[in-house]
């Protein structure tokens, strides 16, 4: 029993150290967001000094005629619409790859899986040239359209769609249900854990995406939060207050992700676990 107890204690201590390591940047962000520009530079980085969080928030939302609100709205549009669209497209593609027999199905699926390995930096220039040809560069569509693609989402959707019993589908067809009704009424409900997982992963990826908006956008009215805060940071040497506003804006930007992850945690955790077992 003693070795087992020592092992559990060691694991507990190790997990506590890892938790502290990963939470330390968030703790610093919370502390730094409460400081003035002078205190941010001169005071202890890990402790509070003359907290003025609400003053900093007021300056954040009023600076530049409230441009930060515009960036928040842009991020919500990019991440919300992009994640919803990617989830639906992934569900359709995964169901078709799992339940529809057609020539080249496995080859197509392998190509989609290869897309998981492609980094966004490698696709940035081709996407920009394509959007420029279509006249969509420096528009919302330049960021939204690439965000609708999720190779991982297609993979996870196929894993779940493959578990839908064929007898259920045949029974629905014999009752006169069309393929679209079967997909919406039956398949999507069975795939709901996977769909929540895909939505959350895609939302976080789009919300934190910096490189794609940097390549596609030149109008600061179209910037998401990530690109907007980076542009502020670039001018912080000439306007020191921007250094504080960047920190406060970074704190505000992580709040939606924390709330969304907490609200959907049980769904996406179940989706990942069941998907790995089914595969």
pLDDT for 113-145, tens place per residue?
A: 888 888 877 888 899 999 999 999 999 999 999
pLDDT range class, residue 1, cuts 50, 70, 90: low
pLDDT range class, residue 69, cuts 50, 70, 90: very high
Q: Hey, what are 252's tokens? A: 């505000």
Is residue 112 within 8 A of residue 155, CB to CB? The reply is yes
For 37-49, the pLDDT digits (tens) are 888 888 888 888 8
Give the model's pLDDT for residue 213.
Answer: 93
* The CA-based dihedral angle spanning residues 81, 262, 183, 153, taken in that order and rounded to the nearest 10 degrees: 70
Q: Whole-prediction pTM value? A: 0.87
What distances in angstroms separate CA 149 from CA 9, 206, 255, one per listed residue? 44, 11, 25
Is residue 196 within 8 A of residue 268, CB to CB? The reply is yes
% the chain with pLDDT above 90:
43
Give the model's pLDDT for residue 275.
Answer: 45
Q: Hey, what are 168's tokens? A: 């259920």
Euclidean distance between CA atoms 244 and 247, whole angstroms:
5
Average per-residue pLDDT in the chain?
87
Whether pLDDT at 177 is above 90: no
For 81-119, the pLDDT digits (tens) are 999 999 999 999 999 998 888 888 889 888 888 888 888
For 190-209, the pLDDT digits (tens) are 888 889 889 999 999 999 99
């Amino acid at each position: 029993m003693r070795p087992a107890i020592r092992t559990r204690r060691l694991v507990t201590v190790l997990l506590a150290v890892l938790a502290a390591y990963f939470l330390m940047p968030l703790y610093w962000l919370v502390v730094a967001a409460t400081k003035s520009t002078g205190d941010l530079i001169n005071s202890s980085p890990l402790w509070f000094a003359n907290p003025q969080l609400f003053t900093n928030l007021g300056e954040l939302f009023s600076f530049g005629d409230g441009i930060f609100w515009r960036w928040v709205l842009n991020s919500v549009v990019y991440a919300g619409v992009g994640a919803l669209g990617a989830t639906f497209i992934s569900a359709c593609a995964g169901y078709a790859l799992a339940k529809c027999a057609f020539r080249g199905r496995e080859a197509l699926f392998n190509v989609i899986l290869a897309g998981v390995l492609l980094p966004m930096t490698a696709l940035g220039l081709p996407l920009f040239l394509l959007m420029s040809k279509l006249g969509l560069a420096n528009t919302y569509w330049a960021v939204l359209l690439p965000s609708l693609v999720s190779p991982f989402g297609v993979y996870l959707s196929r894993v779940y769609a493959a578990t839908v019993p064929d007898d259920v589908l045949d029974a629905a067809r014999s009752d006169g249900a069309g393929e679209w009704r079967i997909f919406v009424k039956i398949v999507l409900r069975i795939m709901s854990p996977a769909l929540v997982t895909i939505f959350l992963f895609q939302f976080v990826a789009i919300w934190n995406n910096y490189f794609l908006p940097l390549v596609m956008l030149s109008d600061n009215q179209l910037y998401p939060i990530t690109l907007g805060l980076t542009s502020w940071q670039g001018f912080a040497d000439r306007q020191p207050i921007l250094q504080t506003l960047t920190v406060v804006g970074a704190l505000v930007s992580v709040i939606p992700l924390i709330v969304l992850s907490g609200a959907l945690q049980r769904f996406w955790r179940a989706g990942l676990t069941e998907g790995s077992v089914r595969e």
